[in-house]
Amino acid sequence: MERVLSGMRPTGKTHLGHLHGVLRNWRDLQDRYECFYFVADWHALTSEYKEPEVIKESISEMVIDWLAVGLDPERSTLFIQSWVKEHAELHLLFSMITPLGWLERNPTYKEQQEELKGKDLGTYGFLGYPVLQAADILIYKAQYVPVGKDQLPHLELTREIARRFNYLYGEVFPEPQALLTEAPHIPGIDGKKMSKSYNNAIYLSDPPEVIAQKISVMFTDPQRGRRTDPGRPELCPVFALHRLHSSQEKQREIEVECRRAGIGCVDCKRVLTENLLRDMAPLQQRRADFAQRLRDVREILQEGSRRAREIASRTMEEVRRAMSVDW
Ligand code: TRP
Ligand code: SF4
């Protein structure tokens, strides 16, 4: 079976954006590939190094969400990056051959520095973020890397590093390909992209009352000031969530009724709340179960990290030999 690998930074709670944009896709890939999914805690540290406690607190919460969504430790290798030290060694060796220009040109680097202005990202570690990511991917010789569009420059850099390594020291690494996740548009309660930093997210861990409350204050089509004004579902964030949680039939009905002011936003939201809570209930139940079994969760990660290390250490032997650091 071909190999898939991806990672997620533990910088906070999982929300609906992660669920629909990433985790469902990760879950489905398990049917077709040998999957490796890991907690990118060192990557989180590149931006959160001043408050590293947040990372530590997020790890178990995040992995509980993974398990609740259906990532299956019997089929997939689930692990923590910092528990497989070989990633750090490969990162170091890659840093010897990666031209500074490649990193300085990286569009994500500049964008993130702009976006996270308050964070002081002028560090060596942050510049090297994609080098560490290349090590994560190449150490498992993964064929496919499911990522969002924003990560494509990092994947391209990974391929460039693989090519340069192979050119300098002989063929060791295959060039991985992105598996582009076509992420549906998932707006937060203010209509902007759902994100922890916008404070507009619905979390998998939110209790039903909180979810209901968040939906009740959710933005709608701004042109629908009055109940009698017709609305435009295609511009309404509430409708965007209907697309993910309501039946086709219901969606069509709402679409028609909204356009002719036949349904009010309050009722429309009530239907959404019901459907969303119905979809979330089993997930939240599994979440609660795993939260009671933190020791098992830890064991899953230990076992996964052991499996990951087996492969990573084999690759490192090859790398050391190729690079003549095997004296
Ligand atoms: N940079 C990725 C993100 O922010 C996380 C990540 C780290 C990753 N290492 C990876 C993703 C390796 C895929 C493969 O989403
Ligand atoms: Fe949005 Fe529903 Fe109101 Fe239409 S009726 S504007 S889809 S909340």
Choosing from 190, 245, 258 the residue with most ligand 2 atoms within 8 A of its CB, the one to mutate for a pocket test is 258
pLDDT in tens, 44-60: 999 999 999 999 999 99
User: Do 108 and 246 sit in the same domain of this protein?
Assistant: no
- pLDDT tops 80 at residue 116: no
pLDDT in tens, 203-214: 999 999 999 999
Residue 210 alpha carbon to ligand 1 centre in Å = 30
CA dist., res. 323 & res. 144, Å (int): 25
Helices 107-115 & 152-169, crossing angle to 10 degrees? 140
Could you tell me if residue 127 is inside a domain?
yes
Could you tell me if residue 315 is inside a domain?
yes
Q: What percentage of residues in the chain have a pLDDT greater than 70?
A: 100
Ligand 2 near 238 CB (within 6 A): yes
CA dist., res. 311 & res. 313, Å (int): 6
Could you tell me if residue 196 is inside a domain?
no
Structure tokens of 220?
Answer: 């709608």
DSSP string, 230-294: ---GGG-HHHHHHHHHS-HHHHHHHHHHHHTT-S-HHHHHHHHHHHHHHHHHHHHHHHHHHHTTH
Ligand 1 near 269 CB (within 6 A): no
User: Do 12 and 156 sit in the same domain of this protein?
Assistant: yes
What is the pLDDT at residue 142?
98
User: Do 263 and 158 sit in the same domain of this protein?
Assistant: no
- For residues 137 and 176, the answer to whether their CB atoms sit within 8 Å is yes
Report the CATH number at residue 177: 3.40.50.620
- pLDDT tops 80 at residue 233: yes
User: Do 179 and 56 sit in the same domain of this protein?
Assistant: yes
pLDDT in tens, 159-186: 999 999 999 999 999 999 999 977 788 9
Could you tell me if residue 191 is inside a domain?
no
What is the pLDDT at residue 110?
82
Which ligand lies nearest to the CA atom of residue 152 in the structure? 1
One-letter amino acid of 194: M
Domain count, the chain: 2
Ligand 2 near 263 CB (within 6 A): yes
User: Do 224 and 153 sit in the same domain of this protein?
Assistant: no
User: Do 280 and 305 sit in the same domain of this protein?
Assistant: no
- Nearest residue (by CA) to ligand 1, atom 14, is 6
Q: What percentage of residues in the chain have a pLDDT greater than 90?
A: 91
User: Do 31 and 152 sit in the same domain of this protein?
Assistant: yes
Report the CATH number at residue 261: 1.10.240.10
Could you tell me if residue 310 is inside a domain?
yes
- pLDDT tops 80 at residue 117: no
- For residues 246 and 254, the answer to whether their CB atoms sit within 8 Å is yes
| Structural domain span for residue 221 | 208-288
User: Do 212 and 116 sit in the same domain of this protein?
Assistant: no
- Nearest residue (by CA) to ligand 2, atom 3, is 265
Which of the four pLDDT bands, split at 50, 70 and 90, describes residue 120? confident
User: Do 175 and 261 sit in the same domain of this protein?
Assistant: no
Could you tell me if residue 198 is inside a domain?
no
User: Do 171 and 27 sit in the same domain of this protein?
Assistant: yes
What is the pLDDT at residue 183?
78
What is the pLDDT at residue 313?
98
Structure tokens of 174?
Answer: 């295959």
Residue 38 alpha carbon to ligand 1 centre in Å = 9
User: Do 26 and 93 sit in the same domain of this protein?
Assistant: yes
CA dist., res. 145 & res. 152, Å (int): 10
Could you tell me if residue 203 is inside a domain?
no
What is the pLDDT at residue 249?
97
Q: How many CB atoms lie within 10 A of CB 269?
A: 19
Ligand 2 near 233 CB (within 6 A): yes
Average pLDDT over residues 262-290: 97
Residue 214's nearest CA partner among 155, 277, 162, 262 is: 277
Could you tell me if residue 199 is inside a domain?
no
Average pLDDT over residues 64-93: 98
Contacting residues for 202 by C-beta, under 8 A, at least 6 apart: 15, 16, 188, 189, 194, 211, 214, 215, 276
Sign of the torsion formed by the C-alpha atoms of 226, 232, 236 and 238: positive
Residue 316's nearest CA partner among 301, 306, 304, 326 is: 326
User: Do 179 and 301 sit in the same domain of this protein?
Assistant: yes
Q: How many CB atoms lie within 10 A of CB 72?
A: 12
